[in-house]
Structure 1
Amino acid sequence: MSRIPTLGSRIATLDTRKAKPLPKKADPHYQTAEHEAWAEFVKKRAGYRCEHVDDGKRCWRSVEKGYRLFADHIVEIKDDPSRALDRDNGRCLCGSHHTIKTLEERKNRMSR
């Protein structure tokens, strides 16, 4: 019995060496002195330690242990711009928890 050959994909793969992604551009809000003061307040209030709680335990990552921390908006600016500088709308997160939270929010926003 002979085999029937299959055809490969007719859509070419994008060569990322030739098609570079657009450079990342920060929102101008994040470059303001007001935002920097807000971020410093949020981190200081948290004691420069990640505020993520999992199974009743707070994350152990902190500035003292060499981790980068982010002042994160609980309600994202894209969802409610009026709360951008609201001190109650901020929490301090380590890089990994900030990434997880940001991707989850992006997924939720895209599903709406």
Structure 2
Amino acid sequence: MARDRIPTLGSRIATLDTRKAKPLPKKADPHYQTAEHQEWAEFVKRRAGYRCEHVDDGKRCWRSAEKGYRMYADHKAEVRDRPDLALDPTNGQCLCASHHTKITVQRRSERMSR
């Protein structure tokens, strides 16, 4: 027995044509361009031995700059939330790109849900 096709309605949600509405260009916070921040970031990465400090299930991440991974100096307390700790060495941790992205997205989500 053949089934008849049931006509469906198209989506009522309009799609965004990115050819017309270009996304805004990314703009770095001026704080990250200062010599003081560059020195802070270098200190944090050097203190960690250029190795990711993320600990998961009691094991430290194995990624390091030596193995060709990019390392980031991450603020434990976001600059946006605690500008007074922006250059505090105890407020920094060295993270690989994967863990830096994961933690940044998680913090952004928490900030937006407040």
Moved over 2 A (4+): 2-7, 9-12
Report deviation, 1:105.
Answer: 0.2
Paired with 2:52 and 2:12, the residues of 1 have a C-alpha distance of 48
Identical positions, percent: 77
2:26 is matched by which residue type in structure 1? K
Give the counterpart of 1:37 among 14, 36, 39: 39
Cα distance in 1 for residues equivalent to 2:67 and 2:12: 51
Partner of 2:9: 7
> Which residue of structure 1 aligns with residue 59 of structure 2?
57
Once the two structures are superposed, residues 15-46 of structure 1 have per-residue CA deviations (whole angstroms, 9 ceiling, x without a partner) of 11322111100000000000000000000000
Counterpart CA distance in 2 for 1:104 and 1:12 is: 29
Within a 5 Å distance, the mapping from 1:13-92 to structure 2 comes to 13-92=15-94
Aligned equivalents of 1:10, 1:108: Cα separation in 2: 31
CA distance in 2 between counterparts of 1:3 and 1:59 reads: 54
With over 3 angstroms needed to count, the CA separation of the structure-2 counterparts of 1:84 and 1:3, relative to structure 1, is same
Calculate the TM-score normalised by the size of structure 1.
0.93
Aligned-partner SS, 1:64? helix
Q: Distance in 1 between matches of 2:33 and 2:86?
A: 13
Distance 1:3 1:43 in 2: 62
Query: Partner of 2:65: helix, strand, or coil?
Result: coil
Q: Which runs of 5+ in 2 are unaligned?
A: none
